[in-house]
Amino acid sequence: MTKPEAKNFIQNIIYNPLFIVILGLITFLSWMTDQSVTGMVALLLIGSVILIFNKDILPLLPCLIYTIYCTSNSNILSIKSNIIIFVIVCLIFSICLIAHFFIYKPKFKLFKLTIPLILVSLALFLGGIGFLSFKEYFKGITFMLSLGPLLLFLYYFIMLFLSPPSWVNARNYLCYIMIVLGVVVLGQFAMFVIRADLPILDLIRVVMDVGWGNRNGIAMTLVLCFPCAFYIAFGKKRMAVPFYLLSFIMYFVVIFIYSRGGVVASSITMLALVIYSTIKAPNKSYFFNSIAIVIIILSIFAIISPDTILAIIDKLTSFDGIGSSGRDSLFKEAYKLFIENPIFGAGVGYIGNIFSVPEFCMYWFHSTLFQVIGNMGLVGIIAYSIFYITRGITMFSSLKPFNILLSMAIIGFEIHSMVDVGTFNPFPFMFIIIVMSAFLEYSNSLDHVSTDTIQLAV
């Protein structure tokens, strides 16, 4: 086999949607069998091979995004042998990452989010100056690095090496990555329900922990995923209905698990998707057929199990107020810190007393706004304002379906993050946001030739 033939053979594998499905299966099976490190190792090694043999990093992205979703519990690295294996594989991946720069020699330049992410990094490191002791300041160093310089590097890396072959539709590929991720999370939720072995109504009240996240994490992930299924449905005919229905399944799971921020964010996002699809969907008949199927299924379920439907509706309509989760106290604490330290805030290393956090974790105020003002003060407000304004301009500089639908996913995430920790959770959430933002920038840079049709290898 000649070198060009080998290259074509590899590309026909890694650009096929089935490749993403296989990575999703690795993720789910490693999670289900509590072999989290095995799954992570497999994904990182596959990613290492891609880094060496392929200039374009598009097929690398599912390997990176899915890695954290292999985590089945918080003790996966408590076994010494697991730590050794994981460190060795991370070292191999890092060497391949460095080698990628030397093999493919990119042309460095500024991209739209380069300066905003530099400013965010500076704000993170300046936060707490004059307030925290040296020891307290360095408690937050991991999150300063991962929310600032590391995200900046990953963004820059994506923008430098996102260069798929002409026959590959990068927009569709990203959406397939997110759809498969959504299916993986649905599978994890289903396994949690089976293992819990509780009456369905009790699942609304039980603590939901799937390892990498809780009910809020599940909701955030699905809010980022189901608009992508809408986008693929737009480009399909025979398979449009299954993708529309998959979107609705993800939405109803968010409703069922009762993450309050997730319920609000997903409902706003789904309403926007339905309105937009009613007006702009190229296959409206398939969309309306999907709506009809959803209504029929819900009606049958309501007839079979009316008590369950009534209980869920009662739960959804009986918000006890945000204070019932302690967030009001956290918001007041953040505001007080801002008043006391208006320039630099209390710093990422600040640890409050309202709830306890592990040594490796930052003290979350459960809101993007209050996290910024509490940890970084006016410096943070300026940096994050520039970051959001720049992203907003990128999101809506084109009104093609890809931009609109992906922007809906991002906005849904940001709405949820106003009452949760998403924006200050570097992996997986902010990494996914950076990937989506980079793709919107890349999409805007493409020629005006329409790429909204399916062009992937099959």
CA dist 336 and 333 (Å) reads 5
Q: Give how far Cα 302 sits from Cα of 55, 254, 310, 324, Å.
A: 52, 18, 9, 30
> Residue 318: its pLDDT value, please?
67
> Residue 348: its pLDDT value, please?
97
The tens digit of pLDDT for each residue in 238-258 reads 899 999 999 999 999 999 988
> Residue 319: its pLDDT value, please?
54
Q: Alpha-carbon dihedral of residues 216, 152, 184, 241, nearest 10 degrees?
A: 100
Q: Please identify every stretch of the chain with a pLDDT value under 50, giving residue numbers as ranges.
A: 321-324, 447-458
pLDDT above 90 as % of the chain: 81
> Residue 322: its pLDDT value, please?
43
The tens digit of pLDDT for each residue in 369-403 reads 999 999 999 999 999 999 999 999 999 999 999 99
> Residue 341: its pLDDT value, please?
96
> Residue 78: its pLDDT value, please?
77
> Residue 219: its pLDDT value, please?
97
> Residue 453: its pLDDT value, please?
43
CA dist 378 and 338 (Å) reads 8
> Residue 258: its pLDDT value, please?
85
> Residue 307: its pLDDT value, please?
81
